[in-house]
């Protein structure tokens, strides 16, 4: 009788598990800096705020079809060390990591413009960067030994969205429309994966 009960419980458990939903794949968006780390800063406009706003909008715009769960390394103006961020990323074991930053040159104003993507020394990271570059607009892709790239076990890229000390780019990246448009390009990229 005991064996029969165990058999019934085993079949019931198997039936319940076969109807459970598949877990969503995770994509991590890392909004650089935060808290007392402003990142690049011009005229009171800071990198940390712009990339956080864009990251939050990517998450909202990517939740539409439910194929992926977008997780932010920070969802408010808090600071976490690079080690804490990569530990969080590695615990999540995501499909990919996209770290958002904004560039700056040493001079007060620059004519340099456009984005660039830094990658790990892996074919997966390079492939991710090439696909992302097509979505954002062709740009330079370079291998870099940056902490988030070096210590993330998942395919990762670091995207410099533009130059904060280029007036036109700063105004665009700091505007509601600009941030929404940038976020939508990332969301479209994620939703197409």
The per-residue pLDDT for range 132-186, each reduced to its tens digit, is: 999 999 999 999 999 999 999 999 999 999 999 999 999 999 999 999 999 999 9
Structurally, the chain folds into a number of domains equal to 1
Q: What does the block give as tokens for 185?
A: 């390009």
Could you read off the pLDDT of 22-37 as tens digits, one per residue?
578 999 999 999 999 9
Residue whose tokens read 């990658």? 119
Domain assignment of residue 12, yes or no: no
For residue 99, the cross-strand partners are 30, 158
16 belongs to a structural domain: no
Whether 7 is covered by a domain: the verdict is: no
Residue 67 lies in a domain: yes
Question: Is 54 a member of any domain?
Answer: yes
Asked, for residue 4, whether it belongs to a domain, the answer is no
Look up the domain containing 159 and give its range.
25-192
DSSP 178: H
- Give the helix, strand, coil percentages of the chain, each rounded to 5: 45, 20, 35
3-state secondary structure of 24: coil
Q: Is residue 5 part of a domain?
A: no
In a domain, 85, yes or no: yes
Q: What span, in angstroms and rounded, lies between the C-alpha atoms of 7 and 16?
A: 14
Quote the pLDDT of residue 11.
Answer: 40
Provide the whole-model pTM. 0.87
pLDDT mean over 108-127: 97
């Amino acid at each position: 009788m005991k064996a029969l009960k165990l058999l019934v419980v085993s079949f019931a458990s198997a039936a319940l598990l076969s109807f459970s939903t598949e877990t969503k794949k995770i994509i991590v968006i890392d909004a650089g800096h935060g808290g007392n780390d402003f990142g690049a800063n011009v005229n009171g406009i800071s990198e940390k705020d712009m990339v956080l706003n864009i990251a939050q909008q990517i998450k909202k715009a990517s939740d539409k079809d439910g194929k992926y769960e977008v997780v932010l390394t920070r969802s408010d103006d808090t600071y976490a060390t690079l080690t804490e961020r990569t530990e969080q990323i590695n615990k999540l074991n995501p499909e990919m990591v996209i770290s958002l930053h904004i560039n700056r040159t040493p001079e007060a104003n620059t004519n340099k413009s456009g984005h660039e993507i830094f990658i790990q020394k892996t074919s997966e990271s390079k492939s991710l960067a090439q696909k992302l570059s097509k979505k954002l607009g062709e740009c330079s892709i370079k291998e870099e030994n940056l902490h988030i790239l070096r210590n993330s076990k998942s395919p990762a890229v670091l995207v410099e969205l533009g130059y904060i000390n280029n007036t036109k780019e700063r105004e665009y990246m700091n505007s509601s429309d600009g941030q929404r448009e940038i976020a939508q390009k990332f969301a479209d990229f994620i939703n197409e994966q």
